Structure 1
Amino acid sequence: MAAVRMAAGRFAAIIAVFLCVLSPGSCSEQVPLLVWASNGFSLASQNAPASGHIVSSSQLQSYLSSALSSAPHNVLLFLQDKLSVDDFTMYAGVFGNKQDTAFPNLEASLRLSSSLLLPSVSSSASATLPTLLQEQLDTAPLYMDPDTLAQLRLNASLPALLIFRLPYSSGSDMMSAKEVLSGNDEVIGQVLNIMKGQSVPYTAIYTALRPSRVIEDSSLAVRSVGSRSLLQSRRGGPPPPYPPVEFKERGTTCILMWAENLTVSQYRSGRWERHDLAPKTFGEGVSPRLEGSSCNGTHSRLVLNYENVLSYRNFKLIFVMRQRHYKVSARRWFTMDLVQLEFDGKKASFNGSRGIYAPAEYSYRCDSVTSFRYAQLTPRSSKDNANDWRISFDDFQIQGFNVSGKDFSYASDCASFFTPGIWMGLLTSLLMVLVLTYGLHMIMQLHTMDRFDDPKGPAISVPQTE
């Protein structure tokens, strides 16, 4: 198993390098990386990289190997969505000499422990950090939160890799970014207190997947070719044609939803009448009414209010989501418990919990969500005539928990593992195996003759007649 994990880690590193070559703009992105050990332990002394040097994946592996040679092998990886050295400069007291700091727990830990700061690590290297640590520790990672960690009993003699995902505000309001960083610091403090309470030594790492502030390189962004220019997006893909629906609770975004088509159909007079709600939901200058929406730590409810849909004066499309902890997977998941249509006081309800679900820190995405073909939505009750309705969402994405700014988190896609291409390959391989098996069987059935002509015996004479 260790060899398999190491091979998978090398493959992930090769893929990261390959993507870096294809999109060189992303390779110039730099994130800081901070390593420290629990009180009583010290990291192996290492030479800090030269000013301006960007630490690559291989160099990061060397730094980690040296650090873990003398530090505890219970590793806490705090992986934030975005982080830059400027965040420490602007909001930290240790780095910025400010009294009002956003990192009180982090700074308190640094004062009592040995630490290593790498100010410029390639974002492609930080993306492979879980794999590098998995190879170093020879153990599988566990994605955790403080509540789950409090129920877990660690063995100080066995290595463990615990990963904590932290958000980051992508808005332009600097105070909102500081509040998010302060909230992340509280999570770090809770985790460190739990480890201290269990008397388990640890090595903590704090870094991010990409920088929160990037200075664009004009030589990579715009290149002139004759009279034409090639414009290259830093993210490597075009932005969506319109922003997602965004619901805010107390000034903070907590629900995001986007779709290319939102189609509802009702069976009337022997035929299906369709209506696409997307033009009334998304687009420039379109602001859907969200009265009745709400969200908290465990439940989210997104209500889209419309008028004059399929001859109904008042029409609502409602998404009800719930987040809870599952002991089997030792993590929190969110499910789409209910998709409901309300029309002039009547209801049609569909259950989506069996087909629409994702880890709590991710968003859910699917090319097609329907209630009639490969249905992820099933009628909840026959009493509300849900069978007379059909729902179809194309290129659908939704997130009801752990939203950071106006961007979706990493998407958990609904695509199954056995795609049509995989099925074609399996069937073709099976056919070739059957042909080969039949050929081998026929060859094994061949036998030599058990009787032969005697060359020393009398020759066979054939009388001739005239």
Structure 2
Amino acid sequence: MAAAVAAGLMLAAGLVLGAARGGHVPLLAWSSRSSLWPPLADGYEGHVVGEAQLGALLGPALEQGPRNVLLFLQEKLSLEDFTAYGGVFGNKPDSAFPSLESALAGAPSSLVLPAVQWVAATRVPSLLKEKLGLSPLHVEPGTLRELRLNASLPALLLVRLPYSTGSSLMALKEVLTSNDEIIGQVLSTLKEEDVPYTALLTAGRPSRIFRDVSEVATGGVGRQLLQKPTPAQHPPVRYPLTGEPRILFWARNFSVAQDSKWVDLTPLTFGAEASVDVSGSSWSVNDSRLVLKYANVLGSPLTVTFHMTSRWFPVSGGDWFQLSSLELVVPSAVPTVFNASQVTAPRNYSWHCAYLSSLPAFGAQLRPRRASPPWAVLLQDVQLQGFNVTGLRFSYASDCAGFFAPGTWMGLLTALLLGAIFTGGLHLLLGLKTMDRFDDPKGPTVAVPQSE
């Protein structure tokens, strides 16, 4: 029995792991209004978006964007749908309607999430209904013109797209091409009527796509809509600019927002074309300030200050540095100050984290000192060192990630459970004892008298 239970648990664990690997769907969103999403084009490689983060990303855009929202809900969709059949969602010279790829490229605002938990994707219609206060209206592309949409009356439109899993790969490719035609037809109608809109494409569950062997062997998979080039590695910001550096700062993406209007400061901060001024920075043995001055951000100068301090901690028997505050200052305005008590590392180390942000969807390690701050900050793949810098290379990084990842905990708990079952079964087997007395089959039988 113990072996059967153990086998059942192993089978269940395999099913859970298999579901976890394949339970992702992509989500694409674009709008005719600009500055609805922060510039996070490189922030989702290998990252799976959950329900809370998806709501945090879509919520502000739905509240501030156009009131006409269009949801393309395909029956099933996976990232392989875009990569296995190159060109089905791309530009087609013989088509009279724009493709999904051209719509994303030409949209003032766009958001591409390659991996969203399919459970979170199923909540998208409910999220739209909650944010807009409208029930979704199922429409067909041919009947869209009869609705007479306009910018003053909000509308939530739902267009369902089919998905075929037939034996023929060409049949599936034709279905996806037809879906792209439907998307283009709907977008053309909205453009002709000059209606501002926000559109989303996702699915309720993932699909299983198998590439054509001949295409894979020849490498002819065409263009990949969600493929993103590997970004070039820019050098870190240093202070001072000459001589031995004292402070180093690097981030893959550095973005700020004022009243939900996002600006990407990465090209202004890093690389050969950077225009940031760090001359106002300062350094001492126990206090360092990295001051980044930008000439024009959203129409006014902006100063961003990283204030780091070093303290001796008797418990650990060593010095630790901490990012005491992150300050954003514009002329004639109250400074926006964020506390960052969680950003700490040994003095001899640098500090690294996947995200350093004031947004709850990314951990909110930056806590504002006053309620409802006008500015928001988002740094992706950030590394910072304010003390014991030697050369232009960061010291060993103290990462903000926990020692045990969720997969590690799942493996440990599964191993402990199986070990407990095995130990209990072995204990039962070792506790078996033979009988000390046996019946003699050759002895006299027991006579039971019967009464008449």
TM-score by length of 2: 0.42
Higher strand share: 1
Q: Specify which structure has the bigger relative contact order, considering alpha-carbon pairs within 8 angstroms and separated by 6 or more residues.
A: 2
TM-score by length of 1: 0.41
